[in-house]
Amino acid sequence: MAVTITIANEKGGVGKTTTAVNLAAGLALRLSHNEGAAGRVLLVDMDPQGHALLATAFGTPAVDSRTGLASLLMESPPPSVQRLIQRAEYHPNLFVIPSSRPSMVEAARLLPTLMANETRLNRALAPVADQFAFIVIDTPPTTGDLLVNALVAADLVLIPVETSYLGVSGLRELQKTIDLVRLHFRPTIEILGYLPTLTEEQRSEAQEILVELKKRYPDLLLPAIHKSSDLAYAHSSHMDVFTYRPPRSRRGDQIASSSRATQEYADLVERILVRAGLADTA
Ligand SMILES: Nc1ncnc2c1ncn2[C@@H]1O[C@H](COP(=O)(O)OP(=O)(O)OP(=O)(O)O)[C@@H](O)[C@H]1O
Ligand SMILES: [Mg+2]
């Protein structure tokens, strides 16, 4: 059964899509020698703004409202999820459910009027949960039904936090939303961790925020993803960073680093494998 990781933060531009893309690609690379479901990763694009990046990053053809994620959320009964899954271009064991912006905007507008509006994604993904080791869900920078659907489907929530003063505001709201999802829908949902992003070592602001985050979340603070031109260039080249800066070699089963950014996301992958109890089998 897949471990589902939702990348969430209601704040915009904090590195959710960057983290979703690079985590999914890193997991796919790391698990690529496993047979069957144990070697497959699914990326679900719930971010109407991010669709261009995901769609082009993974070479998927344009989607419309009938072929994208929105149809899973809107139609009753939902269409076969299998039909919506596309193979990513750069990694043979990475798959994507893409979305199109207009249809996701429509879904966000109409979901509150539909029955079972919070649980639709979870139910729609259930038939393929045993076909993947991990499902990674990217979310929009909004509250509301799209975010709630992504949380209801989650085993683990990964929260990217921009290391700036503004970056740490609003985290308590997200925590409250997760608590409500745990209470009403998903008793097993857990926060995987807070992931400092866009961290600039030389800035004292970043260091102060890291200290503050450590105080607030002593057990849940993950090592930072630093601001890096590789991540920015990979993004603008419509690639994950492992494709943009391919690992030069593999150290044992680890993904060898080709840059700081690949090393930091590879380290995140290793932590997640340990957390999911898969480090030995990967
Ligand atoms: N560690 C990093 N180093 C350099 N650039 C980064 C890093 N992380 C993200 N970026 C850049 O910052 C911008 C915002 O990142 P991203 O799109 O991942 O954020 P987001 O949280 O998904 O935004 P939104 O809330 O709008 O969906 C992008 O241009 C991305 O390339
Ligand atoms: Mg995004």
Question: Cis bond leading into 141, ω under 30°?
Answer: no
pLDDT at 252: 53
Q: Which residue segments constitute the domains of the chain, with CATH numbers given?
A: 3-222 (3.40.50.300)
Question: Which has more confidence, 249 or 277?
Answer: 277
pTM here is 0.95
> Using one digit for the tens of pLDDT, what is the confidence trace for 198-238?
999 899 999 999 999 999 999 999 999 999 999 999 988 88
CA-nearest of 163, 154, 152 to 134 is 154
In whole angstroms, how far apart are CA 197 and each of 100, 162, 238, 281? 26, 5, 19, 29
Q: Whose CA is closest to atom 13 on ligand 1?
A: 13
**Distance of alpha carbon 237 from alpha carbon 240, whole angstroms:** 9
Q: Whose CA is closest to atom 29 on ligand 1?
A: 232
In whole angstroms, how far apart are CA 76 and each of 104, 144, 171? 16, 20, 34
Q: For residue 227, give the ligand 1 atom closest to its CA.
A: 3
pLDDT at 131: 98
> Using one digit for the tens of pLDDT, what is the confidence trace for 83-137?
899 999 899 999 999 888 888 889 999 999 999 999 999 999 999 999 999 999 9
Number of Cβ atoms within 10 Å of the Cβ of 90: 17
Q: Does the beta carbon of 231 lie inside 6 Å of ligand 1?
A: yes
Taking a C-beta distance cutoff of 8 angstroms, is the pair 223, 261 a contact?
A: no
Q: What is the DSSP string of the chain?
A: -PEEEEE--SSSSSSHHHHHHHHHHHHHHHTTTS-GGGG-EEEEE--TTTHHHHHHHTTPPP--TTTSHHHHHHSSSPPPHHHH-EE-SS-TTEEEE---HHHHHHHHHHGGGSTTTTTHHHHHHGGGGGG-SEEEEE--SS-SHHHHHHHHT-SEEEEEEESSTGGGTTHHHHHHHHHHHHHHT-TT-EEEEEEEESB-TT-HHHHHHHHHHHHH-TTTBPPP-B--HHHHHHHHTTS-HHHHS--SSEETTEE--SSHHHHHHHHHHHHHHHHTT-TTT-
Q: Does the beta carbon of 48 lie inside 6 Å of ligand 1?
A: no
> Using one digit for the tens of pLDDT, what is the confidence trace for 144-192?
999 999 999 999 999 999 998 888 888 999 999 999 999 999 999 999 9
Q: Does the beta carbon of 18 lie inside 6 Å of ligand 1?
A: yes
Q: Does the beta carbon of 162 lie inside 6 Å of ligand 1?
A: no
Substitution site in 10, 17, 166, 222 for ligand 1 pocket (most atoms within 8 Å of beta carbon): 17
β-pair partners for 195: 160
Averaged pLDDT, 68-74: 91
Substitution site in 101, 222, 235, 237 for ligand 1 pocket (most atoms within 8 Å of beta carbon): 235
